[in-house]
């Protein structure tokens, strides 16, 4: 009987320790940056299409916010460019060399000088839809990033 009580006590202690560890594990941190804008940009295949994203620092800290792009889909005859941090980057560049210092709760929105702009030129091909993922991150902690996918559709004129 003593052995059974000791076994039950040991199981109870182990279960209790596991339960406490489970309860004290903190949730993953929320991203420090929020992005909003149009998911789809429609335009004329013969004109440059433009996307403007609003970037907000929702953390309690000042951040130096960087921008990089991932091209998900693009036809070879088209070009993708972007601007961030008072500089514009030509087709083929995927990481902005400039960051934007943003205070807590600061919003950067076009036409502010450091604001984001994404540009797509279908070069006359109305079937050349493109998808670009724009990622904004804390330069001191690049894993703290938020991404936003924009589809450029030249088949539907504005």
Residue with tokens 């030129």: 121
pTM of the model: 0.81
Tokens 């970037």 locate to 55
Task: Report the DSSP beta bridge partners of residue 101.
Answer: 64
Q: What is the pLDDT of residue 54?
A: 97
Higher pLDDT pick, 26 / 8: 26
CATH homologous superfamily for the domain 33-153: Immunoglobulins (2.60.40.10)
Of the candidates 71, 28, 158, 56, the residue with the CA atom closest to the CA atom of residue 112: 56
Rounded CA-CA distance 153/145 in Å is: 26
What is the per-residue pLDDT for 56? 97
19: pLDDT strictly greater than 70: no
The side-by-side arrangement of strands in the sheet containing 33-36 is 33-36, 54-57, 107-108
Instruction: Give, in degrees to the nearest 5, the angle at Cα 140 between 149 and 51.
Output: 25
More confident residue, 79 or 6: 79
* HEC assignment per residue over the chain: CHHHHHHHHHHHHHHHHHHHHHHHCCCCCCCCEEEECCCEEECCCCCCEEECCEEEECCCCCEEEEEEEEEEECCCCCEEEEEECCEEECCCCCECCCCEEECCCCEECCCCCCCCEEEEECCCCCCCCEEEEEEEEECCEEEEEEEEEEEEECCCCC
Query: Pick the residue with more confidence: 11 or 85?
Result: 85
């Amino acid at each position: 009987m003593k052995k059974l009580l000791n076994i039950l006590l040991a199981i109870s202690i182990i279960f209790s320790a596991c339960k406490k560890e489970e309860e004290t594990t903190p949730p993953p941190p929320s991203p420090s940056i929020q992005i909003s804008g149009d998911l789809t940009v429609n335009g004329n295949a013969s004109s440059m299409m433009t996307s403007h994203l609003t970037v907000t620092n929702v953390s309690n800290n000042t951040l130096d916010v960087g921008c990089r792009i991932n091209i998900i889909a693009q036809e070879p005859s088209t070009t993708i460019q972007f601007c961030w941090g008072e500089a514009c980057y030509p087709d083929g560049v995927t990481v902005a060399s400039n960051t934007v210092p943003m205070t807590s709760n600061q919003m950067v929105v076009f036409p502010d000088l450091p604001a984001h702009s994404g540009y797509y030129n279908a070069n006359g091909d109305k079937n050349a839809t493109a998808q670009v993922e724009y990622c904004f991150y804390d330069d001191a902690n690049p894993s703290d990033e938020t991404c936003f996918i924009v589809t450029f559709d030249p088949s539907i004129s504005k």
